[in-house]
Amino acid sequence: MALPGCGGGGDGPESTGAPPQKRAQARAALSSACPARLGAFVDALGGLRRQLAVGLSYDQYTARVKALRADYEGVPIERLDLACLAASGTSGERAFNKYIDAANAWGDCLADSSCDTATIEPVLQRKWQVASHLLGETR
């Protein structure tokens, strides 16, 4: 089974609907306050979102979620300041959790002989949509 995901429209503050000045301030705060490692995690989340737009198989999706876990575990949380965590960390972590929820739901469906694409696709689309929205808040 390979399902396309929700792209969410954009990867940056532009997709949040915030005023242009506030978006610029958010980008500047993120780039100056957050270490590169958190930026790499957020970028990896954005990469998964873009890949979902073209479609991934279950195996491809779970491999990407596992790679995201490694990126997530490599974030030096103890060295991040509160502004960085507020700007990216919290929403990024919540988006990652939605991607994990989707992987679990998809795996449960594959294990259930009565579950098919028509059953699981709306569930996955909703989880990916929420993750995409949360990811839009991280930039």
Q: Which two tokens stand for residue 128?
A: 């990916």
Backbone angles phi, psi at 65, to 5 degrees: -65, -40
Handedness of CA 36, 19, 50, 135 (dihedral sign): positive
Tens digits of residue pLDDT in 92-137? 889 999 999 999 999 999 999 999 989 999 999 999 999 999 988 8
Say what the pTM is. Answer: 0.72
Q: What is the model's pLDDT at position 14?
A: 44
